[in-house]
Structure 1
C-alpha cells in the first residue's frame, strides 16, 4: 500500500483467487505491503564491538602440523566437562546420556521431549531422549564467553561427552584450526585460545 492509497485500496484491489482468500481472512489480518525501515544499530551490536577483533593463527612448519580431532573441555552449568568434540560439520549440539546423568537433578528436570530424529553418518536413525538448554562457558583464564546452548540428549555409546556443532561455534564466534589443534574465540578481554 503506497501513501496515496487508502487501506481499502491496498487490500481491496486483489483480484480473482486472491480476493476470495482476502474475503475469507479475518478483518485486519491481510497485509497489502510491508515497508522496511533502516534504523540505528541495535544496542547488542554496539555493545559487542569487541567480537569483531581479528582472529589469526601463526604459520606452522609442515613438520609441526597435527592431524587430530579438536577435543576440549568447558564449563557446562558449572560442571567441568572434558572430552568435548568440536565438529564443524554437525548441525546440532549433542550431549550423550552418560554425561547428562551427571548433571544436577534440578538441571536434568529442564529436559524437554523431542520427536526430531537424528540421522547418523551411515544413515542410521535414532530418536533423542530430549533437548535441554544449558549455559556453556568456554575460554581461558580471564578470557571467557558464556552462552546458552540447546543440546540434543542421545542414548548412544561414545568416547565423547558432548559434540559442539555449527550453531554453537557460530554463536561463540569460534574459529577452529585442526592443523593447530586449537580454537580461538573473541571475548570482552581479547581473543581466547583453547588448545586440546
Structure 2
C-alpha cells in the first residue's frame, strides 16, 4: 500500500468539531507510561525536555534506584533554575491499535508543584515525527500502519489551568 510508505498527515475541520470554539487551551493528553494510564500530560513543543513530576513518579511506584543522577538544571520561564532529582527512561505508548507507537522516553524527574503529571517536549515529539495542532488539540504521528493520533482533553486543560492559577495564588 503506497499510503503507508508515504503517509500524509493532515488535519480536517471535522477533527476540531468536538471542541468548544473559540479556545486558547493547552494541549493536554493522556498517555500510557509504563504500566500506568497517565492523565494531565502537557504537550509543550517549547520544552527542550520531557518532565515527569515526582508525585506522579511516586504514584507509579517506580523504584527510586532507577533514577540516574544529573546535575543539569532546568531553566524556567522566569529564569528560575530547578534541579532534577534524576532521569529515568520509561516506555510510553500512544495511539489506538494498529496506529500506535511505543517508544522509550527519557524523563527528568522534578520535585515541584504542578497541575500536570508530566510534560512531553520536543525530544519526544521529534522522535515520533509528530505534528501538533493546538486549534484541533491534537497530535498526529507516523506509525508502521499509517497516521496515528492523540486527542487533547479540553476539560482537563481547563482544570489544569485553574489548578495552576490557584497554586500561584497560594504561593
In structure 2, the partner of 1:42 is none
Give the TM-score of the pair, scaled to structure 2: 0.78
Counterpart mapping for 1:32-181 below 5 A = 50=4, 52-59=6-13, 64-106=21-63, 108-181=64-137
Deviation per CA, 1:108-145, whole angstroms, max 9, x where unpaired?
Answer: 43110110011110000111100011111111243210
Gaps of 5+ in 2: 153-171
Q: What is the rounded CA distance, in whole Å, between the counterparts of 1:154 and 1:52 in structure 2?
A: 39
SS of the aligned residue for 1:112 comes to coil
SS of the aligned residue for 1:101 comes to helix
Q: Tell me: CA distance 1:131–1:51, structure 2 relative to 1, closer, same or farther (3 Å).
A: farther
Tell which has more relative contact order, 1 or 2 (C-alpha 8 A, sep 6+).
Answer: 2
Tell me if structure 2 keeps the 8 A contact 1:51–1:186.
no
Tell me if structure 2 keeps the 8 A contact 1:100–1:153.
yes
Structure 1 stretches of 4+ with a deviation exceeding 6 A read: none
Q: Which has the larger radius of gyration?
A: 1
In structure 2, the partner of 1:184 is 140
Gaps of 5+ in 1: 1-48
Deviation per CA, 1:65-111, whole angstroms, max 9, x where unpaired?
Answer: 532111001111121100110000000000000111022344x4311
Two-structure CA RMSD over aligned residues (Å): 2.0
Question: When you count strand as a share of all residues, which structure comes out higher?
Answer: 2
Q: Tell me: CA distance 1:72–1:105, structure 2 relative to 1, closer, same or farther (3 Å).
A: closer
Q: Tell me: CA distance 1:115–1:188, structure 2 relative to 1, closer, same or farther (3 Å).
A: same
Give the TM-score of the pair, scaled to structure 1: 0.69
